[in-house]
Amino acid sequence: KAGVTQTPRYLIKTRGQQVTLSCSPISGHRSVSWYQQTPGQGLQFLFEYFSETQRNKGNFPGRFSGRQFSNSRSEMNVSTLELGDSALYLCASRVGRGTEAFFGQGTRLTVV
Amino acid sequence: DAKTTQPNSMESNEEEPVHLPCNHSTISGTDYIHWYRQLPSQGPEYVIHGLTSNVNNRMASLAIAEDRKSSTLILHRATLRDAAVYYCTLELFKLRIAGGTSYGKLTFGQGTILTVHP
């Protein structure tokens, strides 16, 4: 079956702009989580959605937001981009708690 | 949140077993232990997970200490393709009182860079 698909794979934005990243989970997976990966901070949890509801949120400023649609596809948005937002953004989907997570290839965001 | 501690790096020879340790002394009784590995420019790949009992799958084995404060990922015969960053993660459990549903988030440590020598 198809894996987790993230689009776009690469993105270059200017400081102050906003960006929207997309994630299509594996069919049947209702849980979608987002992570930020940087060399200095490693993998950090952003938020998790389950059945269109945000179930958990990490320690990120309000500029980072997300949503999940009825078909489980998810988007995350970062407004007023800063240089420090440059990172690999990863999406993972799961059936639910206590199950394995499947990660996408990630979106590499560069803010200049 | 509970955290994990792993050695920064480990080395192994091809076809030898590898034991990757992880400490999670602040784990709660309902937190799952997951292991993922990541190759450069790729997303993490699931390896194995468990709650209390030791687990085996086609990729590896997971040995969980009786007090659950530590665990060990065992690769029975390392290959060059096993060279990666290995993350021991905890799936933290929170029960939503309203609606009775539960959810969990994965917390990642810094990982162990595994080098496999031919």
Question: Does the pLDDT value for residue A15 go beyond 80?
Answer: yes
What's chain A's average pLDDT? 94
pLDDT at residue B103, rounded to an integer = 61
Contact state of B107 with A45 under an 8 Å Cβ cutoff: yes
What pLDDT score was predicted for residue A32? Answer: 94
Q: Which residues of chain B make contact with A92, given a CB cutoff of 8 A?
A: 43-44, 106
**pLDDT for B100 beyond 70:** no
Query: What kind and span of H or E run contains A77?
Result: strand A74-78
A4: pLDDT strictly greater than 90: yes
Q: Which of B87, B105, B110, B113 to mutate to test the interface with A (most CBs of A within 10 A)?
A: B105
Q: How far is B82 from chain A (nearest CA, A)?
A: 18
The Cα–Cα gap between A53 and A81 comes to 25
Average pLDDT, chain B: 90
Q: Closest chain B residue to A57 measured between Cα atoms?
A: B105
Q: Is the peptide bond before B21 cis (omega within 30 degrees of 0)?
A: no
C-alpha–C-alpha distance, residues A35 and A76, integer Å: 10
pLDDT per residue as tens digits for the range B33-82: 999 999 988 999 999 999 999 999 999 999 999 999 999 999 999 999 99
pLDDT of residue B94: 66
Cα angle A76-A80-A85, degrees, rounded to a multiple of 5: 65
Task: List pLDDT tens digits, range A82-111.
Answer: 999 999 999 999 988 889 999 999 999 999
Whether pLDDT at A51 is above 90: no
Taking an 8 Å cut-off on Cβ atoms, the answer to whether A50 and B103 are in contact is: yes
* A98 contacts on B by Cβ (under 8 Å): 32, 49, 51, 91, 104
Residue A72, pLDDT > 90, answer yes
Task: Say whether residue B94 is in contact with chain A using an 8 A CB cutoff.
Answer: yes
Residue B45, chain A, CB below 8 Å: the answer is: yes
Q: Is the pLDDT of residue A37 over 60?
A: yes
- Residue range A61-79: average pLDDT? 96
